[in-house]
């Protein structure tokens, strides 16, 4: 058992035990040990020539919707075939004995599948397909090719004929106002915010740890590497999500 060899910094165990209201803020590194690539890691195979940051943008969709749609379908398929890791499971278990909310930048549903009851998706959910023109939800089954392909025409909206898109927030788009408002309220009221697996580069989500700290929360970070938020948190623990969280939560 891998987690048996993880030693939790003593200060963190004490902070976790005495914090009634907890928010876990997660990024792509949270799902890395489930087998999903992060944004700033090189992508494999068909997608190695493309930068994920360039594909995840409103301008990429306008320029080449077939390329963007094929990339999202490939990721949608990957998400369906992977499972929550020990970190997701530990957060869900923590939430059964304490007031724990998850604010995630991830568009996968691994927190929900692990059993977390309160999950706020500030960058949307890949599987909430909708029309890119009239916003009507698209609930038809999505056709996924057997093998990933580089270009695929998106389905067409039943209401207005517009192209169907994934339910995510691209660069240059505004975050869903309800999710963002709730995320700010949660970190403002929290005693402890645990920032897991995010590079802290992408705003406005990257500003949540600073909001939490200025409103009085203790902020700790779990990440194998230094990030753009490392300097402003109270403690950084250089460990992976699936190893650290089960050890921290007990
Ligand atoms: C592990 C690990 C393990 C590895 N365990 N850890 C200057 C200031 C402020 C804002 C801007 C600015 N210039 C431009 C902007 C706007 C822009 C922005 O922030 N750009 C920055 C790049 C500077 N922001 C926006 O456009 C946002 N909207 C907005 O601002 O609206 C107002 C507006 C409107 C119009 C015009 C201008 C302003 C929207 C941002 C939407 C981001 N969308 C994406 C795609 C979502 C859909 C999808 O999944 O495809 O969200 S981009 C991508 O980045 C995705 C992620 O949620 C997000 C953050 O990435 P994350 O999660 O941090 O992942 P990585 O890969 O960066 O990091 C992984 C980390 O895990 C690393 O640290 C590893 O070490 C670690 N790790 N293994 C634990 N096992």
**Quick one: 147 and 234 in the same domain?**
no
Q: What is the pTM of this model?
A: 0.96
**Quick one: 47 and 22 in the same domain?**
no
Q: How far apart are CA 245 and CA 7, in angstroms?
A: 11
Per-residue pLDDT tens listing for the chain (250 residues) = 555 689 999 999 999 999 999 999 999 999 999 999 999 877 766 778 888 888 999 999 999 999 999 999 999 999 999 999 999 999 999 999 999 999 999 999 999 999 999 999 999 999 999 999 999 999 999 999 888 899 999 999 999 999 999 999 999 999 999 999 999 999 999 999 999 999 999 999 999 999 999 999 999 999 999 999 999 999 999 999 999 999 999 8
**Quick one: 48 and 1 in the same domain?**
no
**Quick one: 210 and 183 in the same domain?**
yes
Domain that holds residue 104: 1-36+84-123+174-250
pLDDT digits (tens, 9 = 90+) for 107-142: 999 999 999 999 999 999 999 999 999 999 999 999
Pocket (CB within 6 angstroms of ligand 1): 27-29, 32-33, 38-40, 56, 105, 107, 123, 168-174, 196-199, 201-204, 223-225, 227, 240-241
**Quick one: 146 and 203 in the same domain?**
no
3-state secondary structure of 237: strand
Burial of 231 (0-12, 13-18, 19+ CB in 10 A): exposed
User: Are the beta carbons of 192 and 220 closer than 8 angstroms?
Assistant: yes
**Quick one: 130 and 18 in the same domain?**
no
Residue 127 corresponds to which tokens in the numbers above?
A: 């599987």
Selected catalytic residue, list 123, 234, 235, 238: 123
CATH code assigned at 116: 3.40.50.1220
ipTM above 0.90, yes or no: yes
Is 123 catalytic? The answer is yes
Number of domains in the chain: 2
Give the angle subtended at the CA of 143 by the CAs of 63 and 79, to the nearest 5°. Answer: 85
**Quick one: 31 and 106 in the same domain?**
yes
- Tell me the binding residues for substrate: 72, 75
């Amino acid at each position: 058992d891998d987690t048996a060899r993880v030693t939790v910094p003593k200060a963190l165990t004490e902070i976790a035990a005495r914090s009634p209201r907890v928010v876990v803020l997660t990024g792509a590194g949270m799902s890395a040990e489930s087998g999903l690539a992060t944004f700033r890691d090189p992508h494999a195979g068909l997608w190695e020539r493309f930068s994920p940051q360039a594909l995840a943008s409103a301008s990429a969709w306008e320029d080449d919707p077939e390329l963007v749609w094929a990339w999202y379908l490939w990721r949608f398929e990957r998400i369906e075939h992977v499972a929550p890791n020990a970190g997701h499971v530990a957060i869900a278990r923590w939430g059964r004995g304490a007031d724990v909310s998850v604010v995630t930048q991830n568009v996968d549903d691994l927190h929900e599948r692990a059993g977390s009851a309160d999950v706020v998706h500030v960058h949307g959910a890949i599987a909430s397909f909708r029309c890119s023109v009239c916003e009507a939800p698209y609930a038809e089954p999505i056709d996924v090719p057997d093998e990933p392909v580089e270009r695929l025409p998106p389905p067409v909206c039943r209401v207005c004929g517009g192209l169907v898109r994934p339910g995510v927030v691209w660069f240059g788009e505004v975050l869903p106002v309800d999710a963002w408002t709730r995320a700010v309220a949660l970190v403002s009221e929290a005693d402890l915010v645990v920032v897991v697996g995010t590079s802290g580069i992408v705003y406005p989500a990257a500003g949540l740890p600073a909001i939490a700290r200025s409103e009085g929360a203790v902020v700790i970070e779990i990440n194998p590497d230094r990030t753009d938020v490392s300097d402003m948190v109270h403690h950084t623990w250089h460990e992976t999500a699936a190893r650290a969280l089960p050890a921290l939560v007990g």
